Amino acid sequence: MSLNVKPISTATGRALLPLVSLGTALVLVTYVTPMATIPATAADLGAGSGARAWILSSMSVGLAAALLAAGVLGDTFGRRRVYVVGLAALGLGSLICAVAQEPMLFVAARVLQGVGGGAILACGLALLAHVFAPGPARVHATSVWGASVGLGVAAGCVLAAALDIGSGWRETYIAVAVLAFALLIPTLRGLLESSAAHARAIDVPGLTLLASAITLVVSALTQGRSGIDSPTVVLTVLAVLAFVGFILVEARVRTPLLDPGLLGNRRFRGATMGSMVLGFGIIGMSSFVPTVAQVGLGSSLWTASLLIVPWAGTSVVTSMLVRHLPHPLEGPFPIAVLLVGVAIGQACGYGLAADSNPWRLAIPMFVSGITTGILNAVLGREAVASVPPDRAAMGSGANNTARYLGAAVGITLFVTVATHAGNGIIDGWNAAVLVSTALTLLGAGAIAGAGLRGRG
C-alpha cells in the first residue's frame, strides 16, 4: 500500500491523529521523567555518579539504536504492526523500571523504553502521512503531532512532581505503564495498516552496523560524563570501526539503507541537520534546568519540574499555530531562521547568579519555546516530505535519530561544561549557555549554507 494516496476518510483521520499524538506524547513523558526524579531514583537504587549518567541517558541509547531500524521495518512489514510492538515495549519497560531494585536492571529497562519509543516515533509520523495527503490536511496533522512533542515534555515534568509520593519516582513509571497498555486496544482498532507499495530488500548488514555505531556513540558519550576512562576509549574506537564498516557496506549493496540521492536533497539535509541542531542546542540546555534549579538555586522538585513547562507549553501553542501561517515553511532556510530564534531564547539564560530567583530560568525557556514549537511541526512534515512516499517511516526514523543523537551530544556537552567551568554550578551554567547558544547559531549557518549548495 503506498503513501501516495488521498485521505481515506474524515472518520479515520479523527481516530488516527489523537491516537498517534497520545503515543508520541507518552514517549516524551517517559524521556523527561528522570530529569526531575534522578536524586530520588539514584538514592533508592544506590546508584553512583557513573550509574546516574546511565540512568539519564539509557533511553537515548535505545532510541538511537531503534529509530532508523524501526522505520525501515515499518515500511517493509507494516507500520501499525511495528508501532503496536513499540507501544507494548514502552509499557513493559516502564513496568520493569517501577519494580527495579538495582541500577543495572533499571538501565536495561530504560533502553527497552527507548526501543519502544523509537518504533512509536518512526512509524507514528508515517501513519499520519499515509492518511493525510500533502497540503492543508498534512500541515494540520503534523502541527498536532509537533504539539504532542511539547505536550509530552510538559506532562512528564508535571507528572513527576505531582507523583512525588511514596518512593518519589516509581509511581511515575507505573502511571506510564498503565497508559501505554491502555492505548494498545484502541490503537489496534483505530490505526489502519500501511506499508511500502514495493517492498525493498532490507540491508541487514548496513542496518546492523549503523545501529551499532549510533548506539556505541551514545554509550561512549554517556560513559565519558564521569571522565575519559578505558571503557570510553573502547566504545569510541568500536563506534568509529562500525561507522567505517557501514560506509564500506553501503558502497557495495544494491539497496543501501540510505539512498545516496537523499543526501543531495536539500530538504532532507535541512530537516536532518535541523533536528540534530535542535537536539544538541536547546534540548541539551533544557535537560540541565532542573539540576541547576535544585542544586544551584535551592529550588524544590515542583519548581524545578515546572520550569520546563514554559518551554514545552509555549511550543505546544506555536506548533498548533503553524497550520494558520500563510507561508508553507518548506526547505532549509525557514529551519535556519527558526534556529536563530531558538538561539536568542537560549542566550536569555546567560547571567544567572547565585541569588537569582529560580523563575529567572523560565525566561529562556519561554522565548526558545516559541520557535521550538514551530520547528517541531516543520521538521515532522519535512521528514516525510523529503523522502519517497514508500519510505516515509525511514524518513521519520532518520530525522528522529538525528534529534536524539544530537540530544545525547548536547546533554553530555552541557553537563561537562556546566560542572567543570568556573567556580561552581552557576558559573558553569553561564559558560554552558554560551557554548550551547553558539552551537545553535553555527548549526543554523550550516543549514543555510547547505540549502544554497543543495538541489531540490
pLDDT at 166: 59
pLDDT of 315 strictly over 80: yes
Alpha-carbon distance values, 66 to 59, 73, 214, 257 (Å): 11, 10, 10, 14
**Would you give the end-to-end CA distance of the chain in angstroms?**
26
Q: Note whether 141 and 13 are within 8 A (CB).
A: yes
Q: Which whole number is the average pLDDT over 319-348? A: 87
- What would the mean pLDDT of 240-257 be, rounded to a whole number? 82
pLDDT at 377 over 70: yes
pTM of the predicted protein model: 0.81
* Average pLDDT rounded to a whole number, residues 339-343: 95
| SS3 label, residue 265 | strand
Give the residue-averaged pLDDT of 231-257.
85
- pLDDT tens, position by position, 25-84: 999 999 888 877 777 788 888 877 677 777 877 888 888 788 888 888 888 888 899 999
Residue 452: how many CB atoms within 10 A of its CB? 9
Least confident of 69-78, 233-242, 321-330, 429-438: 321-330
* pLDDT beyond 70 at 454: no
Tell me how far CA of residue 290 lies from CA of 98, 308, 361, 365, 412, in angstroms: 22, 8, 10, 12, 15
Least confident range from 9-13, 229-233, 448-452: namely: 9-13
User: Residue 2 above 60 pLDDT?
Assistant: no
pLDDT value for 88 = 95
- pLDDT tens digits along 153-201: 888 878 777 766 656 688 889 989 999 999 999 998 878 787 776 666 6
Beta bridge partners of 455: 265
Among the residue ranges 4-18, 231-245, 428-442, the one predicted with the least confidence is 4-18
Question: What is the mean pLDDT of the segment spanning 107-131?
Answer: 89
Percent of all residues in the chain with a pLDDT value above 70, rounded to a whole number: 91
- 307, 290 Cβ separation under 8 angstroms: yes
Name the pLDDT band for 4 (thresholds 50, 70, 90). Answer: very low
CATH architecture of 10-203+255-453: Up-down Bundle (1.20)
200: how many CB neighbours lie within 10 A of its CB? Answer: 17
In this prediction, residue 83 carries a pLDDT of 94
What is the rounded average pLDDT for all residues in the chain? 83
- How does residue 8 score in pLDDT terms, banded at 50, 70 and 90? very low
pLDDT at 438 (0 to 100) = 95
- What pLDDT is attached to residue 115? 92
**Average pLDDT estimate for 433-451:** 90
pLDDT at 284: 86
* Helix, strand, coil shares, percent, the chain, to 5: 80, 0, 20
* Per-residue confidence band for 215, with pLDDT thresholds at 50, 70 and 90: confident
Residue type, 370: I
Q: Pick the residue with more confidence: 196 or 8? A: 196
Region of poorest pLDDT, from 54-58, 146-150, 276-280, 425-429: 54-58
The lowest-confidence range among 97-101, 105-109, 210-214 is: 210-214
Query: Tell me, what's the pLDDT at 6?
Result: 41
Of 2-16, 255-269, 418-432, least confident by mean pLDDT is 2-16
User: Residues 363-377: what's their mean pLDDT?
Assistant: 92
Domain coordinates of the chain in residue numbers? 10-203+255-453, 204-254
**Helical H segments across 164-308, by residue range:** 170-190, 204-223, 230-250, 260-263, 266-278, 284-286, 289-291, 301-306
Whole-number pLDDT of residue 423: 84
